[in-house]
Amino acid sequence: MRILTLTLMTASWLCAQNTIVIQNGTIHTVTKGTFQGSIVIRDGKIAEVAEKVMTPPGARIVDATGKHVMPGIIDAHTHIALDSINEGSVSVSSMVNVAEMLNPEQINIYRALAGGVTTANSLHGSANSIGGQNVLFKTRWGQNAEGLIFKGAKPSLKIALGENVKRSGNPQGGGFQQGAQQNLRYPGTRMGVEDVIRDAFTRASEYQKEWKEYDAKKARGENALPPKRDLQLDPLVEILEGRRLIHAHCYRSDEILMLMRIFDEFNIKGVTYQHVLEGYKVAKEIAARGDGASTFSDWWSYKVEAWDAIPYNAAIMHKKGVLVSLNSDDAGGAELMRRLNTEAAKVMKYGGLTEDEALAMITINPAKQMQIDKWVGSIEAGKDADIVIYDKNPLSMYAKVEKVFIDGKEYFDRDNDITERPRKEAEKKGLTEKEREIEKKSAPQTRRPS
């Protein structure tokens, strides 16, 4: 009996240990409205969200009075935390996987986290028509690469169209390695881009067939050599079989349409158009296919294909029934990732969308595009406790992130960050001084035999 009581007590104590209650804040659930209330987090998941909740004894209380609470921000398109981004030497580089390049110690992860981003989709670059495999991860700063990966998510592949692709294989484009002069990489036009993509999926279909034939032979008991596994075509077959998503970098309406027609031809679904700055011109067609669009808030004029870009792009596409998200495309540093909340405010300015519609574009919409909305993207019971606490309305320029939880664990706390600063400085100073001291000691003592 005593043992049983003890066990029970331990159990409840443990349970309370894993329980956090974010109390009395303005909760922007994104999907279920905004209200004054509390969130109970248990074992990394959201257990309850309501105006009044049941607080278990021993739970950690986070007072959110006067503060704003929203789901962790999801960046559908970034390039941070990768040790390499492009394998641009060939036009189809689907064999490479940026997940292998995930560098969990890159400071950008922390900076993005401090800006409220809890899930990031780091993509292969746009140097070639069919790029590499992408990586979806959570900004669990301090974990190793494996620990960052968003488990259970469908994998995805990058496709790119237009100027970057044309430029990368072309010596005038710069950035390409020695020998490029004699070795121009096809394609150099949008027509060629279409060809490369259609050809790749055609080859993938043939490869898929080869395997099916082999399987059939084996089933018949024939002695047959299996086809050779081709790491380039495997991911394309996964796309044909609906097991992998596509993120397609595109700008102009004609090329967006072109790509959609290839997808129709090969019956490919699960596409999100990236940047898609002229998406507003073909919003109807995008909506008809049920594809997603992930765009910038207000980028334009940096190149010819961005000349017709308008900040109303997201709003028009949204109004015409396209699932729209906003992304950062950060590569050098996590810059825009730190303020996707105010980027979202721009769809209110340009196009008059509501607060919820704006926040959806950096939370639930990208989650849906990446088919991870059953886990993240809103504050709902049962979802991962990926939560950001702001001191003010996150759509205001005057708001800043105070705390970030991922899977119910606090990964960022502004006060801690500030109090930690002097310690870090001191540690650095200590190491520098130590090194100089050693250098001084081991310097040649001018005992040169003369």
Residues 406-425 that bind other proteins (CB under 8 A): 417-418, 421, 424
CA distance 12 to 137: 32
CB of residue 428 to other proteins, shortest distance in Å? 5
CA distance 420 to 413: 11
Among 334, 360, 389, 404, binds other proteins (CB under 8 A): 334
Binding mask 42-61 for other proteins (x = CB under 8 A): --------------------
Binding mask 141-170 for other proteins (x = CB under 8 A): ---xxx----------------x-------
Indicate whether 238 belongs to the interface with other proteins (CB under 8 A). no
Q: How many CB atoms lie within 10 A of CB 296?
A: 23
CA distance 160 to 201: 14
Helix, coil or strand: residue 307: coil
Indicate whether 397 belongs to the interface with other proteins (CB under 8 A). yes
The answer to whether the beta carbons of residues 132 and 92 sit under 8 Å apart is no
Indicate whether 5 belongs to the interface with other proteins (CB under 8 A). no
Q: How many CB atoms lie within 10 A of CB 341?
A: 27
The angle, 0 to 180 degrees and rounded to 10, between the axes of the packed helices 253-265 and 190-219 is: 20
Indicate whether 132 belongs to the interface with other proteins (CB under 8 A). yes
CB of residue 400 to other proteins, shortest distance in Å? 4
Phi, psi of 169 (to 5 degrees): -95, 10
Pick the piece of the chain touching other proteins (CB under 8 A) from 42-50, 178-186, 238-246, 375-383. 178-186
Phi, psi of 406 (to 5 degrees): -130, 130
Residue 38 or 342 having the CB closest to other proteins: 342
Residue 330 or 384 having the CB closest to other proteins: 330
């100073």: which residue's tokens? Answer: 429
Pick the piece of the chain touching other proteins (CB under 8 A) from 44-52, 193-201, 244-252, 298-306. 298-306
435: Cα within 13 Å, side-chain hemisphere: 6
Pick the piece of the chain touching other proteins (CB under 8 A) from 5-13, 15-23, 305-313, 364-372. 305-313
Among 395, 403, 404, 405, binds other proteins (CB under 8 A): 395
Residue 44 or 227 having the CB closest to other proteins: 227
Residue 351 or 408 having the CB closest to other proteins: 351
Considering only residues 95 through 124, tell me which ones interact with other proteins, judged by CB under 8 A.
Answer: 95-98, 100-101, 103-108, 110-111, 114
CA distance 101 to 84: 6
CB of residue 141 to other proteins, shortest distance in Å? 11
179-200 exposure pattern, b = at least 16 Cβ within 10 A, e = fewer: ebeeeebebeebebbbebbeeb
Size of the site for other proteins (CB under 8 A): 102
Indicate whether 348 belongs to the interface with other proteins (CB under 8 A). yes
Phi/psi-derived region of residue 5, left when phi > 0, alpha when psi is between -120 and 50, beta in every other case? alpha
Binding mask 64-93 for other proteins (x = CB under 8 A): -------------------xxxxxxxx--x
Indicate whether 179 belongs to the interface with other proteins (CB under 8 A). yes
Residue 144 or 202 having the CB closest to other proteins: 144
Indicate whether 63 belongs to the interface with other proteins (CB under 8 A). no
Residue 100 or 206 having the CB closest to other proteins: 100
Indicate whether 349 belongs to the interface with other proteins (CB under 8 A). yes
221-255 exposure pattern, b = at least 16 Cβ within 10 A, e = fewer: eeeeeeeeeeebbbbbbbbbeeebbbbbbbbbbeb
Phi, psi of 115 (to 5 degrees): -100, 10
Binding mask 195-234 for other proteins (x = CB under 8 A): ---------------------------xxxxx-xxxxx--
Indicate whether 335 belongs to the interface with other proteins (CB under 8 A). yes
Residue 37 or 115 having the CB closest to other proteins: 115
The answer to whether the beta carbons of residues 361 and 395 sit under 8 Å apart is no
Pick the piece of the chain touching other proteins (CB under 8 A) from 57-65, 177-185, 262-270, 374-382. 177-185
CA distance 423 to 407: 28
Among 300, 356, 371, 410, binds other proteins (CB under 8 A): 300
Binding mask 271-290 for other proteins (x = CB under 8 A): ---------xx-xx------
CA distance 260 to 256: 6
CA distance 76 to 33: 23
Indicate whether 329 belongs to the interface with other proteins (CB under 8 A). no
Residue 373 or 402 having the CB closest to other proteins: 402
379-413 exposure pattern, b = at least 16 Cβ within 10 A, e = fewer: bbeebbbbbbbbbebbbeeebbbbbbbbbbeebbb
